[in-house]
């Protein structure tokens, strides 16, 4: 695990990465160098294998944050006359809707409460009600609240109705099993600075090859043209434009560590233990989680803020940071919350230390009523 004086990032990305991954960024690479291009090729092959897609899918890496790749996937894989259904239960679902508006793609939202997830029946009903829908864009783990949406059930409905499924797996890829060989998906999108535990700076779209081959001309942008990026890489082994070489090299190291740890099952189990340790410890202090355990993903946990007048997030954040941990503000509009990420190069022992830091901070602030405002009178 991580050691040193830097604070631990309890965020859903960027996150705390290992010293070995950091050290991989110390070498400079030429973007056309054959050795670097072999790193890119091996990275792309390993990413496809994580979702069991070697027979049907290919990886297209893209410079930029994960949102760049989400936009690229929507722009390329949805034809200009397509229509996208977005089951919406959080901030990153809303971002997809915003992207679709920018792209000029027809779309419709299926609005759901932030503590509930869409069901197969909901998707089925929406598809039957609007035959113009060609695709569903689903966020797998909505880190606005930390909810895990039922991807496999949604994939089965989409397949039954012949609709393309585009999955924003930004915060789940590598931690939660995704199997495109069993559950058809046109694309799985993620980024370097998430559960593989690399640095931020690169996204990637794992796309169904048969779909990607037909999407030439769909893109609104040269830089985000996945078809052009993919075909150029096939011809030359190189990126079209300057790649984030240090990020790619570090991500290769992170992938090697991911495989050495035991891959998705072991990494997911470590994160799940982190979450359990955190919830148990924070519960002992009096905190309540926003989500029920049934829908809680092992990625990030949203807690209700204390209703005590002595509490304010800014001071709470700074005092916990001084003790070595960087928290994440709440993303909900209805109630005051804060979030604690449980991913990165950390284990359950670190989560116990987090709980201790929070407890010490509450004492320093004079916060004694931990129940949230909406429950403080109860």
Residue 377: per-residue pLDDT: 42
Find out if CATH 3.60.10.10 is the number for domain 263-376. Answer: no
* CATH architecture classification, 26-260: 3-Layer(aba) Sandwich (3.40)
pLDDT per residue as tens, the chain (378 positions):
445 578 999 998 899 999 999 999 999 999 999 999 999 999 999 999 999 999 999 999 999 999 999 999 999 999 999 999 999 999 999 999 999 999 999 999 999 999 999 999 999 999 999 999 999 999 999 998 999 999 999 999 999 999 999 999 999 999 999 999 999 999 999 999 999 999 999 999 999 999 999 999 999 999 999 999 999 999 999 999 999 999 999 999 999 999 999 999 999 999 999 999 999 999 999 999 999 999 999 999 999 999 999 999 999 999 999 999 999 988 876 789 999 999 999 999 999 999 999 999 999 999 999 999 765 444
Nearest-angstrom CA–CA distance, 332 and 372: 14
Q: Which residues contact 227 (CB under 8 A, 6 or more apart)?
A: 76, 212, 213, 215, 216, 218, 219
Residue 122: per-residue pLDDT: 98
Nearest-angstrom CA–CA distance, 102 and 155: 26
Residue 1: per-residue pLDDT: 43
Which sequence spans correspond to the domains of the chain? 26-260, 263-376
Q: Which long-range contacts (CB under 8 A, 24 or more apart) does 320-327 make?
A: 320/357, 320/358, 320/361, 321/7, 323/357, 323/360, 323/361, 324/7, 324/8, 324/353, 324/357, 325/7, 325/8, 325/10, 325/353, 325/354, 325/357, 326/7, 326/8, 326/9, 326/10, 326/11, 327/10, 327/11
DSSP assignment letter at 328: E
Q: Are 275 and 342 in contact (CB under 8 A)?
A: yes
Collapse the DSSP code of 158 into the 3-class scheme (helix H, G, I; strand E, B; otherwise coil) and give the result.
helix
pTM of the model: 0.95
Collapse the DSSP code of 8 into the 3-class scheme (helix H, G, I; strand E, B; otherwise coil) and give the result.
strand
């Amino acid at each position: 695990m991580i050691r040193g004086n830097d604070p631990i990032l309890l965020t859903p990305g960027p996150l705390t990465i290992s010293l070995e991954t950091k050290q991989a960024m110390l070498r400079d690479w030429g973007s056309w160098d054959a050795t670097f291009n072999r790193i890119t090729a091996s990275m792309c092959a390993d990413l496809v294998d994580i979702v069991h897609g070697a027979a049907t899918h290919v990886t297209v890496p893209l410079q930029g944050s994960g949102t760049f790749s989400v936009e690229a996937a929507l722009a390329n894989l949805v034809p200009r006359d397509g229509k996208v259904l977005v089951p919406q239960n959080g901030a990153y679902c809303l971002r997809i809707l915003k992207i679709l508006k920018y792209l000029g793609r027809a779309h419709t939202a299926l609005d759901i409460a932030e503590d509930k997830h869409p069901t197969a029946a909901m998707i089925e009903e929406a598809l039957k009600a609007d035959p113009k829908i060609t695709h569903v864009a689903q966020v797998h783990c909505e880190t606005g609240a930390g909810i895990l949406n039922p991807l496999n059930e949604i994939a089965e409905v989409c397949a039954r109705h012949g609709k393309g499924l585009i999955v924003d797996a930004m915060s789940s890829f590598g931690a939660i099993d995704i199997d495109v060989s069993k559950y058809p998906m046109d694309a799985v999108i993620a980024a370097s600075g998430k559960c593989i535990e690399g640095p931020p700076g690169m996204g990637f779209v794992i796309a169904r090859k048969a779909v990607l081959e037909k999407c030439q001309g769909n893109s609104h942008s040269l830089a985000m043209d996945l078809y052009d990026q993919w075909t150029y890489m096939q011809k030359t082994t190189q990126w079209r434009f300057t790649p984030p070489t240090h990020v790619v090299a570090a991500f290769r190291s992170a992938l090697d560590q991911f495989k050495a740890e035991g891959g998705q099952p072991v990494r997911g189990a470590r994160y799940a233990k982190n979450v359990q340790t955190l919830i148990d410890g924070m519960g002992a202090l009096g905190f309540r989680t926003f989500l029920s355990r049934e829908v809680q993903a092992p990625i990030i946990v949203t807690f209700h803020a204390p209703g005590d007048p002595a509490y304010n997030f800014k001071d709470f954040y700074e005092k916990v940071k001084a003790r070595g941990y960087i928290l994440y503000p709440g993303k909900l509009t209805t109630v005051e919350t804060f979030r604690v990420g449980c991913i990165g190069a950390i284990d359950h022992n670190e989560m116990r230390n987090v709980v201790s830091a929070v407890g010490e901070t509450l004492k320093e602030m004079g916060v004694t009523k931990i129940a949230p405002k909406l429950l403080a009178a109860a």
